[in-house]
Structure 1
Amino acid sequence: MKEKTHAATVRIFIALAPPDDAKQELERVLGPAYAAYPRMRWNRIEDWHITLAFLGELPVAAVPLLRPPLAELVAARRPLRLALRGGGHFDERVLWTGIDGDLEELHLLADDVRALVKECGIPYEGRPLRPHLTLARSRRNEPPHAVEAAAGLAAFTGRPWHTERLHLVGSNIGRGPGPIHYRDIEAWPFAGGR
């Protein structure tokens, strides 16, 4: 009799993370929105990231395939100069801040990361890159407040910073109750990075 087995999977994405001081700068600006919209599901500051490629659920065995080529790709790349800027929303429910700076290079990096994923034999049909950092979501049973919260970020321009590492991240989405948490599986420094 054949035993039924389920391969272990992990939800994966590849991202950049702003440095702590850039995130803290934005967190201070978000103070009034935190107070005004406490029922929104606010992402934890330590989880803020700029997704370059969302891969979804992958077998755990696929993760090692990504490590060497991602390390090689990043070792050949200089850090990007980016900044957090302004605010916006998706479908009146998702609040985000935008990205400014070396946007052409950011798009090229995302294209190369996505091509590398496909070369590793991992199916990838992602949406076009819209550089942003997701901050919060309105709860399904609550009125959406992302439009109002985004208006409070309209004049925000954060200080410029350089990307330090490319992150391969796993998440616990769909893994039980409670907030979403992310963890670095691995991170690689950019050439000439700190």
Structure 2
Amino acid sequence: MNDQIQPPSPAATVRVFIALAPPDEAKEELARELRPAYRAYPGMRWNRIEDWHITLAFLGELPVSAVPLLQPPLAALAAAHRPLELALRGSGHFDQRVLWSGIDGEIDGLHLLTSQVRTVVRECGIPFEERPLRPHLTLARARRGDPSSTSEVAAALAGFTGRTWPAERLHLVGSNIGRGPGPIHYRDIRSWQFTGSH
């Protein structure tokens, strides 16, 4: 998620969220565990591992002109915050359609960071839906008519425990959802390193 997104014309909108991302080694560790499922369930819509992320605040479609408002306060927040120690653990599904990997580690710190991120968004005057944080990585979506695949893969991954890793950057991400056919791709608008001590 390190590619920079180029801002469209001033009248355009971009779908935006704020997230953390596991490092490559942690993603590759889970991807190795998923290889049998990739082979067994090719009909599932698997997310690209480079797009795996932990959403802290989903802002939806924003005018491109609103995006720069977020950048200075998010940069300040990251500068004041230390990295969180997290890990990927277990699996589950939402409504038998969405397969996810769970998050372990400094969960209280993750909830606090999420609250701080959402306060920044509100203080920028940007309305968004306040969904409860359910820390996870979305791995895949089942195609209609085949809901059992998610529960089967989740059961196979239930005992997975990945390495612990530091979440070192805060990502402001744009997506191309609604921009035409094809898979969803995400690109960093900006990201900031956590450099604080608390």
Same fold (TM over 0.5): yes
Contact 1:99 1:131 in 2 (8 A): yes
Query: Which residue in 1 is equivalent to 2:183?
Result: 179
TM-score (norm 2): 0.92
What is the TM-score of this pair, normalised by structure 1? 0.94
Contact 1:114–1:124 (CA under 8 A) maintained in structure 2: no
Letter matched to residue 152 of structure 1: A
Per-residue CA deviations over 1:72-97 (Å, capped at 9, x if unaligned) read 00100000000000000000010000
Q: Distance in 2 between matches of 1:67 and 1:82?
A: 25
The question of whether the paired residues in 2 share the 8 Å contact of 1:78 and 1:191 is answered with yes
The whole-number CA distance in structure 2 between the counterparts of 1:41 and 1:144 is: 14
Give the 3 Å change call, closer, same or farther, for CA 78–143 of structure 1 in structure 2: closer
Q: What residue is the counterpart of 1:20 in the other structure?
A: 24
Is 1:116 matched up with 2:120? Answer: yes
- Choose from 166, 190, 193 the match for 2:194: 190
Unaligned runs of 5+ in 2: 1-9
Q: Return the alpha-carbon distance in structure 1 between the equivalents of residues 108 and 65 of structure 2.
A: 33
Choose 1 or 2 for highest CA Rg.
1
Gaps of 5+ in 1: 1-5
In structure 2, the CA distance between the partners of 1:143 and 1:78, relative to structure 1 (3 Å rule), is closer
Identity among equivalent positions (%) equals 74
* Aligned residues of 2:58 and 2:129 also touching (Cα < 8 A): no
Match in the other structure for 2:130: 126
Partner of 1:153: 157
RMSD (Å), alpha carbons: 1.3
SS in 2 for 1:74: helix
| SS in structure 2 at match of 1:150 | helix
